[in-house]
Amino acid sequence: MTISQAQLDGEACVVCGASEGFLIPAGYFFAPDGGGGRRSWAVVACPKERRPKL
Ligand SMILES: [Zn+2]
DSSP lists the bridge partners of residue 32 as 38
Tell me the residue range of the domain where 19 lies: 5-45
Eight-class DSSP state of 2:
-
Residues 14-52 have pLDDT tens digits of: 999 999 989 999 999 999 999 999 999 999 999 988 665
DSSP lists the bridge partners of residue 36 as none
Domains of the chain: total = 1
Is-contact 13 19, C-beta < 8 A? yes
- Spacing, Cα 18 to ligand 1 middle (Å): 5
Question: Is 21 part of any domain?
Answer: yes
Q: Say if pTM beats, i.e. exceeds, 0.85.
A: no
- Spacing, Cα 7 to ligand 1 middle (Å): 10
Question: Is 39 part of any domain?
Answer: yes
Question: Is 54 part of any domain?
Answer: no
Question: Is 51 part of any domain?
Answer: no
- Spacing, Cα 19 to ligand 1 middle (Å): 8
d(CA 7, CA 10): 5
Question: Is 10 part of any domain?
Answer: yes
Eight-class DSSP state of 45:
E
Question: Is 52 part of any domain?
Answer: no
Question: Is 33 part of any domain?
Answer: yes
